[in-house]
A = this chain, B = another copy of it.
Amino acid sequence: MDTQSPTTTNLTDAQRIDWLRLIRSDNVGPRTFRSLVNHFGSARTALERLPDLARRGGASRHQRICSEEEARAELAASEKLGVHLVSPGEDGYPPRLAVLDDAPPLLGVRGLRDVLMRPMIAIVGSRNASAAGLKFAGSLARDLSDAGFVIVSGLARGIDQAAHRASINGGTVAMLAGGHDKVYPPEHGDLLTAIIATGAAISEMPLGHVPRARDFPRRNRLISGAALGVAVVEAALRSGSLITARMAAEQGREVFAVPGSPLDRRAAGTNDLIKQGATLITEASEIIQAVEPIMGRPIELREPDEDPLASEPDVSERARIIGLLGPTPVLLDDLIRMAEASPAIVRTVLLELELAGRLERHGGGLVSLI
């Protein structure tokens, strides 16, 4: 088992339906979900207040709210496929993932849930990897697996596939960008079947969701977030693996990179990571040595949430704050200063805009109007 996870009581059946309805409703992401539940005390109350909040944020079109029937149907179809929807703190929710700021309120988990409670190392890399890269990824995954680590990766062609295959015996985890029934790439259906026999697959997306380009970076945060560290084996410049490495660094995870010849384009990304401070590794023992001290420490809980809805903005405050926003991203801190309003009021207006589908949150505390 990984070090202790934050204790959370299990959801009741009714709560699970409410949580699923809320996270599946328009304009509700993991962060908005938490703000709403913290403020209203339950997903049920939040669902009741959703239309009113979105209207105040200036929703131009009807905000679709997931019905109880839809949620029950998704739950039933998931159970049929062997997918359990688990919340942070429940069995099968990777403990390190549970403490992320944008931890999904519900994860669809298929396979052996106890594997997901063990310490994980992510291995990612090029889809069109070289024979040497594939071989190295396999031996790295095998050695880490033999040492007791669960290998997490993205089920892609190339490095991902090699890492999964080499660690199937010890248990490996595939993070999916689409729904559990929309395997990508399609030819990896058999690999996925083998993976869930001894390990698990995870998705935050509903069944039937065909992965779009933008779902892959979103999924990548789960790969790095679940792991103690991420090892990148062969990556060209500007590749998806580097996004995973960047997310890992932002999440405070260890970043390991496998070096390669300057003449090999597939090593340009990993060499670049090392130049930026990632740890050069050539064998599994170096990863184990680096993560062992982290495993010994308790998992750090996220900061307690500030309640963004604690204060009710009046009409003139709302107008002033919206007037300060535009398509150019601005820092939340600058916005608060310039709005001459309390941080709680500003956050409430932003949440209303978000629910109305009018706000985009960028990295680094930047927001803009859509």
Contact = CB atoms under 8 A, between A and B. Distances in A.
B261 A136 contact: yes
Instruction: Give the residue among A259, A267, A268 with the most B Cβ atoms within 10 A.
Output: A259
Given A271-B280, A271-B282, 7 more contacts: A135-B263, A259-B280, A260-B260, A260-B261, A262-B281, A262-B283, A268-B282
Contacts of A275: 280, 286
24 contacts: A132-B263, A132-B264, A135-B263, A136-B261, A136-B263, A258-B261, A258-B262, A259-B259, A259-B260, A259-B262, A259-B267, A259-B274, A259-B280, A260-B260, A261-B261, A261-B267, A262-B282, A262-B283, A268-B282, A271-B280, A274-B274, A274-B280, A275-B280, A280-B280
Nearest to A274: B280
A337 B259 CA distance: 48
Interface of A: 132-133, 135-136, 258-264, 267-268, 271, 274-275, 280-283, 286
**This chain's copy number in the assembly:** 2
User: Which 6 A-B residue pairs are closest in the complex by CB-CB distance?
Assistant: A259-B259, A262-B282, A132-B263, A274-B280, A260-B261, A271-B282
A262 B136 CA distance: 8
Contacts of A264: 132, 261
